[in-house]
């Protein structure tokens, strides 16, 4: 297996893909958003409970490749407790990681997605769940789509 | 003169390494590769005979017109149309189907029914949704039986009622590999007075196709799926239908007379070819017809079919795999499958590491996927240059993928 | 890197004899020749990177997608669009104009007015007639002053009333050579809340064109009139207008979701690019942009303009000739004329004997011809590879023709 | 001037072009048909007086190149006195001449048009008037067009 591919499918990613965290419909959710990737048919729904402007609880559901499943799963673990501004800033960092391969210092497990940047067609997979989460935070009822041509 | 023994030499794109492995190109359902003779035919045309067609009286323009109209006659012969005038050059299958839906379809009325099948490509589905929304006609679907991917013809009588004005269906499903009994379906359409529209994107370059034997009213296909370039394709239409249809696009070349406030149209095919046509790639399409006929389309059909059967059989032996499409002998040159533990995109990315080009996703068959409870499949689709050895490379790669994710 | 000194060497089609004479190609208004670098760019793409775009995750498909989207970005830069998403690839000017007329035009209503000019090419006239017939909107025309071929802007105030919803006009007339004040016309359209549509078929490959400086809402052009292949062209549209427009053609690649009975669309540009696009020739179009920019479009404009002035001046000295278009300095790179004793077709046939490629006829401007009391003219249209010597060959040929028929 | 061109613009043709016979609107006509060639904008109207099934008089009008003008002019001289069947048969011969360059024996001035066959794009010019005449004979009010793709 090539170095690039090993870098793409890191152990963290394979682990989150096999045993996704916070998967399923959150019964107490007060916000929800759906995302889809029309190119491949992948779908992701993100459910949140917002309390005092912070994400008190979060889950995701849907279907997609290992990258999108693992990314959504890992995302839920990172977003719990954050407010909208923190979530947006975390997404900025994540977006930088998947598009450039450069991880800011002291960043968590998200750095596992650095390998995505050598597979540009997979960036949309990695960001699908994040788009849905940010839309859910905005209370935006429109389906998120990674077909915005901007990731 | 191409020969089956040296056929791979004719295709320059096949001779490259991808990720350190020889390219195994199994994405022919999306687009085929072009032989050097086709690439050269277009280059040579541009280097010698290039000028705008139809309206010119100078030497280059006359040569270009002869080349373009010669290509039309060649394509007509390729599918056994009654006359070159029955061939309208388009960008491809999608534009051909939009043309029929918009122009012929403009006569549809509330109460009329457009009958499609559940296995249609978005390109033979969305244009009809658009015309239905405009005219008030309704859509109806012939169901697909399930994973084995046959049309359920037992209910055709109930569906094909006198309200049906159009029956549009694919010749070969690009996802299932099913070959539909198109001649029978056209005959059934005729019985209720409906026109028949055949999406031949996956068949024209892969097997003998004879529009008069099929008995269809319209038939659509793309050059890039039959060894020619992109940007060229054709709509076959029966002459009397074409001449009774209103124009779709307006502009230079399709008019008999233009006044400031009213115009009159030329007959078919010019009526439907507004603006400068893609004569460069039409020349390439004619060269592709020559190339495929020299190999022989019956042999081509045998070759693709045998590879598909071999692939189906070897894939069936793998664990945790779900295969789509007919299990028996007769199938188009492709196989489509889903692994229970690995998503189609991960399969495609891993296979690419082994130099194998596959396609993963809904293959523009979203409603069918939804019906089958899938979000996508992996598809390996074959063409004249693929080999049995390449299927072994594919199987070995899938085994490694299953192991990695297992 | 092309250079003006050796520019003719770049175009293989120029180096041939026609009827025993060196080819003098003066039919660039119909289609230009392609430089070898453009021909090669397409051939090389097919020989190395060919695969279907967008839906693929394998190496070739990713390369093809990068090439296609790179071409879009290159074309956007060529006309200074704000973003690649404002470029929709089409077959050419005609399809671009049909797209605007059909999609944006679907919102027109009885009482609305479409304002055109009397010098429009059929491709910027018939699509509006078709949409007018469908929607009940009315057509209105800005008059042309006469043989000198200017728009009569003195009546624009009367014509450009609040009922006008669309003002569509050509940048350079393909028959008169007139260069219209497009920025001013766009500003005037904006004042009454009309959208502006610029037919730039004759300008984009011949001079610097900046859509933001012009201030247009839509702009249409063809690759084959700017050194690229046939089957490719573009529609520029302002992003917010495009995203508010309904799709025109339906099919693969333009959908966000397809169900059996309803679908949702992607945003622009995908919404308007149903089916496999002509990615091969898009790559060629990007190479043509590179080629023209390396020469410099301001120099190109100067070159073509100087040839046109020279030709106009020398033709004026002939007896029994009627010249169309502005007499002063500023004109596009073409001249159009009628001999009183010799029909345009006879001129073209005789000139062809001298190796000269001209065009004779109505040049898809029938209503204008009718207004001017002509059935056709002879047109000599220039491009970057034409020379002053070629104009002398033309003049000598016309003299012989006049003598023969005199 | 090349042999082909001399052959195309024979003296007969130049003469008919310069001094067209039977040109103008025939006041006594009881049949008329118009033809046009959309590709080049050429037009031709043919006026006939049919008497007892024979062409008692004929004229043409319109605009076009030397070939189409001369052809229409010569045609009027040939058709006078003929009935519909004879006219059709004459057109068959003329069509053969302009498409193959082979003139049947003992054919009149029509053979002057043999040179057209080396200029396929001009066949439409040569046949424009004939199409109009045949349509006028049929009493067909539809404009003849040489854009039928069949000449
Ligand atoms: C001014 C103008 N508009 C539109 C067109 C149509 O362009 P195309 O035939 O490439 O669609 C042309 C070329 O013939 C033209 O000169
Ligand atoms: C069955 C079928 N129909 C239609 C199409 C659309 O063809 P194109 O994209 O060339 O217009 C395809 C190819 O994707 C296809 O496989």
Alpha carbon distance B261, C367 (integer Å)? 9
pLDDT number for residue D39 = 72
pLDDT number for residue C402 = 96
Please report which confidence band the pLDDT of residue D121 belongs to, taking 50, 70 and 90 as the band edges: confident
**Distance, CA C97 to ligand 1 centroid (Å)?**
10
Rg, Å, chain D Cα set: 14
pTM: 0.95
Over 80: is that where the pLDDT of D104 sits?
A: no
Alpha carbon distance C288, C293 (integer Å)? 8
Contacts B–D by Cβ distance under 8 A: 28
For the stretch C120-141, pLDDT in tens is: 999 999 999 999 999 999 999 9
CB-ligand 1 contact for C363 (6 Å cutoff): no
Q: How far is CA C278 from CA A143, B223, B269, B320, in A?
A: 30, 11, 21, 39
Q: Is D99 left (phi over 0), alpha (psi -120 to 50) or beta?
A: alpha
Bridge partners of B172, per DSSP, are B179
3-state secondary structure B71-102: HHHHHHHHCCCCCHHHEEEECCHHHHHHHHHH
For the stretch B11-59, pLDDT in tens is: 999 999 999 999 999 999 999 999 999 999 999 999 999 999 977 789 9
Over 80: is that where the pLDDT of D40 sits?
A: no
Contact C160, C188 (CB under 8 A): yes
Q: C30: how many CB neighbours lie within 10 A of its CB?
A: 26
Backbone angles phi, psi at B305, to 5 degrees: -65, -40
Q: How far is CA C367 from CA B162, B262, C179, in A?
A: 45, 10, 19
**Distance, CA B351 to ligand 2 centroid (Å)?**
24
Nearest CA in chain C to A144: C256
Token code pair at residue C355 = 């190796």
Burial of B10 from C-beta contacts in 10 A (0-12 / 13-18 / 19+): buried
- Show the domains of chain B with their CATH numbers: 4-26+296-405 (3.90.1150.10), 39-293 (3.40.640.10)
Please report which confidence band the pLDDT of residue C375 belongs to, taking 50, 70 and 90 as the band edges: confident
Over 50: is that where the pLDDT of A142 sits?
A: no
Inter-chain touch B47–C13, beta carbons under 8 Å: yes
Beta carbons within 8 Å of D27's beta carbon, 6+ residues apart: none
**What b/e readout covers C87-118, taking b as 16+ CB neighbours within 10 angstroms?**
bbbbbbbbbbbbbbbbbbbeebeeebbbbbbb
Q: How far is CA C374 from CA B251, C360, C369, in A?
A: 20, 12, 5
Over 90: is that where the pLDDT of D143 sits?
A: no
Inter-chain touch C266–A38, beta carbons under 8 Å: yes
Token code pair at residue B211 = 């529009």
Q: How far is CA C192 from CA C67, C197, C211, in A?
A: 41, 14, 20
- Show the domains of chain D with their CATH numbers: 3-144 (3.90.1010.10)
Mean pLDDT, residues A1-17 taken together: 88
Inter-chain touch B353–A5, beta carbons under 8 Å: yes
Residue with CA nearest ligand 2 atom 15: B201
Find the length of chain C: 406
Alpha carbon distance B75, B223 (integer Å)? 10
Q: What percent of chain B has pLDDT over 90?
A: 96
- Any alpha helices (H) in chain A, and if so which ranges? 3-8, 11-18, 66-79, 84-100, 123-137
Mean pLDDT (chain C, rounded) = 96
Inter-chain touch C56–B357, beta carbons under 8 Å: yes
**CB proximity B70 to D under 8 Å:** no
Q: Which of residues 347-406 of B touch A (CB under 8 A)?
A: 349-350, 353, 360-362, 366, 369, 375-376, 404-405
Token code pair at residue C181 = 């004040």
Alpha carbon distance B269, B81 (integer Å)? 13
Alpha carbon distance C256, C244 (integer Å)? 15
Q: What percent of chain C has pLDDT over 90?
A: 96
Backbone angles phi, psi at C359, to 5 degrees: -125, 135
Mean pLDDT (chain B, rounded) = 96
> Closest approach of chain C CAs to the CA of D47, in angstroms?
21
Over 60: is that where the pLDDT of A58 sits?
A: yes
Q: Which of A64, A57, A66, A55 is nearest to A90 (CA)?
A: A55
User: Best residue in D41, D62, D64, D73 to probe C by mutation, most C CBs within 10 Å?
Assistant: D41
Contact D50, D31 (CB under 8 A): yes
User: Which residues of C carry out catalysis?
Assistant: 364
Inter-chain touch D40–C362, beta carbons under 8 Å: yes
pLDDT number for residue B54 = 79
pLDDT number for residue A141 = 46
Contact C342, C402 (CB under 8 A): yes
Q: Which of C119, C24, C121 is nearest to C358 (CA)?
A: C24
Token code pair at residue A104 = 């800011």
Token code pair at residue B92 = 């491809």
pLDDT number for residue D140 = 57
Which residues on A lie below 8 Å from B349 (Cβ)?
Answer: 5, 8, 119, 122
Token code pair at residue C360 = 């004779």
Please report which confidence band the pLDDT of residue C346 belongs to, taking 50, 70 and 90 as the band edges: very high
pLDDT number for residue A144 = 56
Alpha carbon distance B122, B56 (integer Å)? 39
Inter-chain touch B267–D39, beta carbons under 8 Å: no
Please report which confidence band the pLDDT of residue A6 belongs to, taking 50, 70 and 90 as the band edges: confident
> Coil, strand, or helix at residue C16?
coil
Which residues on D lie below 8 Å from B256 (Cβ)?
Answer: 36, 38, 143, 145, 147
The region of weakest confidence among B59-68, B109-118, C7-16, D111-120 is D111-120
The distance between the two most distant Cα atoms of chain C, rounded to a whole number of Å, is 71
Backbone angles phi, psi at B115, to 5 degrees: -100, 125
Token code pair at residue B397 = 């790669």
Token code pair at residue D93 = 């011969």
Alpha carbon distance B219, B200 (integer Å)? 6
User: Best residue in A4, A39, A119, A148 to probe C by mutation, most C CBs within 10 Å?
Assistant: A39
CA-CA-CA-CA torsion sign (A73, A74, A77, A80): negative
Beta carbons within 8 Å of C154's beta carbon, 6+ residues apart: none
Strands D31-37 and D42-51 come out as antiparallel
Q: What is the pLDDT along chain B (406 residues), one digit of tens a residue?
A: 789 989 999 999 999 999 999 999 999 999 999 999 999 999 999 999 999 997 778 999 999 999 999 999 999 999 999 999 999 999 999 999 999 999 999 999 999 999 999 999 999 999 999 999 999 999 999 999 999 999 999 999 999 999 999 999 999 999 999 999 999 999 999 999 999 999 999 999 999 999 999 999 999 999 999 999 999 999 999 999 999 999 999 999 999 899 999 999 999 999 999 999 999 999 999 999 999 999 999 999 999 999 999 999 999 999 999 999 998 778 999 999 999 999 999 999 999 999 999 999 999 999 999 999 998 999 999 999 999 999 999 999 999 999 999 8
Alpha carbon distance C229, B284 (integer Å)? 12
Chain centroid offset of residue D150 CA:
15
Strand order in the sheet with C233-237: C87-90, C233-237, C218-222, C195-199, C164-170, C113-117, C138-142
Over 90: is that where the pLDDT of D2 sits?
A: no
Q: Which of C169, C208, C205 is nearest to C189 (CA)?
A: C169
Which residues on D lie below 8 Å from B85 (Cβ)?
Answer: 149
Cα B275-B280-B283 angle, rounded to 5 deg: 120
For the stretch C282-299, pLDDT in tens is: 999 999 999 999 999 999
User: Best residue in B346, B358, B359, B361 to probe A by mutation, most A CBs within 10 Å?
Assistant: B346
- Residue written as tokens 């598909």? B308
pLDDT number for residue D141 = 46
Alpha carbon distance C116, C160 (integer Å)? 10
Point out the ligand 2 atom lying closest to the alpha carbon of residue B230. Answer: 10
The more confidently predicted of residues C346 and A148 is C346
Strands C113-117 and C24-25 come out as unpaired
**What b/e readout covers C143-152, taking b as 16+ CB neighbours within 10 angstroms?**
bbeebebbbe
For the stretch C144-176, pLDDT in tens is: 999 999 999 999 999 999 999 999 999 999 999
CB-ligand 1 contact for B276 (6 Å cutoff): yes
Strand order in the sheet with C334-339: C321-324, C334-339, C377-381, C359-361
Over 90: is that where the pLDDT of A105 sits?
A: no
The distance between the two most distant Cα atoms of chain B, rounded to a whole number of Å, is 71
Backbone angles phi, psi at C170, to 5 degrees: -90, 150
Contact D83, D53 (CB under 8 A): yes
**Distance, CA C240 to ligand 2 centroid (Å)?**
30
Please report which confidence band the pLDDT of residue D150 belongs to, taking 50, 70 and 90 as the band edges: very low
Bridge partners of A145, per DSSP, are A36
Please report which confidence band the pLDDT of residue A145 belongs to, taking 50, 70 and 90 as the band edges: low
For the stretch C85-104, pLDDT in tens is: 999 999 999 999 999 999 99
Alpha carbon distance A40, C56 (integer Å)? 9
Q: Residue C230 half-sphere exposure, CB side, CA atoms within 13 Å? A: 27
């Amino acid at each position: 297996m090539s170095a690039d591919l090993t870098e793409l499918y890191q152990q963290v990613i394979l682990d989150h893909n096999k045993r996704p965290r916070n998967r399923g419909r959150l019964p107490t959710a007060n916000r929800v958003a759906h995302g889809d990737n029309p190119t491949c048919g992948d779908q992701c729904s993100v459910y949140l409970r917002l309390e005092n402007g912070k994400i008190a609880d979060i889950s995701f559901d849907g279907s997609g490749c290992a990258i999108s499943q693992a990314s959504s799963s890992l995302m839920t673990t990172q977003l719990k407790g954050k407010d909208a501004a923190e979530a947006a800033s975390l997404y900025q960092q994540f977006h930088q990681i998947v598009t450039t391969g450069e991880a800011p210092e002291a960043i968590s497990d998200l750095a596992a997605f650095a390998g995505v940047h050598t597979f540009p067609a997979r960036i949309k997979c990695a960001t699908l769940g994040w788009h849905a989460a940010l839309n859910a935070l905005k209370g935006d009822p429109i389906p998120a789509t990674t077909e915005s041509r901007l990731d | 003169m191409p020969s089956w023994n040296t056929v791979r030499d004719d295709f320059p794109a096949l001779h490259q390494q991808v990720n350190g492995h020889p390219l195994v190109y199994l994405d022919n359902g999306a687009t085929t590769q072009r032989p050097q003779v086709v690439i050269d035919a277009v280059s040579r045309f541009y280097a010698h005979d290039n000028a705008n067609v139809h309206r010119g009286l100078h030497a280059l323009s006359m040569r270009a017109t002869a080349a373009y109209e010669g290509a039309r006659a060649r394509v007509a012969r390729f599918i056994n149309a009654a006359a070159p005038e029955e061939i309208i050059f388009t960008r491809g299958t999608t534009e051909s189907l939009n043309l029929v839906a918009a122009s012929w379809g403009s006569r549809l009325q509330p109460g009329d029914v457009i009958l499609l099948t559940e296995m249609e490509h978005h390109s033979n589905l969305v244009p009809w949704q658009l015309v239905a929304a405009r005219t008030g006609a309704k859509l109806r679907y012939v169901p697909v039986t399930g994973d084995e991917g046959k049309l359920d013809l037992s209910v055709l009588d109930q569906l094909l009622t006198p309200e049906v004005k159009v029956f549009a269906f694919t010749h070969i499903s690009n996802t299932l590999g099913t070959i539909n009994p198109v001649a029978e379906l056209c005959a059934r359409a005729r019985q209720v007075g409906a026109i028949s529209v055949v999406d031949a994107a996956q068949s024209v370059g892969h097997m003998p196709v004879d529009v008069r034997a099929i008995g269809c009213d319209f038939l659509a296909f793309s050059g890039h799926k039959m060894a020619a370039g992109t940007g060229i394709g054709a709509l076959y239409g029966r002459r009397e239908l074409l001449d009774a249809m209103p124009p779709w696009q307006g502009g230079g070349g399709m008019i008999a007379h233009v006044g400031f406030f009213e115009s009159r149209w030329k007959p078919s095919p010019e009526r439907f070819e507004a603006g400068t046509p893609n004569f460069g790639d039409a020349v390439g399409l004619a060269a592709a017809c020559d190339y495929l006929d020299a190999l022989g389309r019956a042999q081509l059909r045998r070759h693709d079919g045998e590879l598909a059967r071999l692939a189906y059989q070897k894939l069936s032996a793998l664990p945790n795999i779900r295969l789509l499409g007919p299990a028996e002998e007769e199938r188009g040159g492709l196989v489509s499958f889903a692994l229970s533990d690995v998503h189609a995109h991960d399969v495609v990315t891993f296979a690419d590491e082994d130099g194998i080009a596959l396609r993963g996703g809904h293959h523009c068959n979203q409603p069918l996927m939804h019906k089958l409870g899938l979000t996508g499949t992996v598809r390996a689709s074959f063409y004249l240059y693929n080999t049995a050895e390449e299927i072994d490379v594919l199987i070995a790669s899938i085994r490694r993928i299953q192991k990695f994710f297992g």
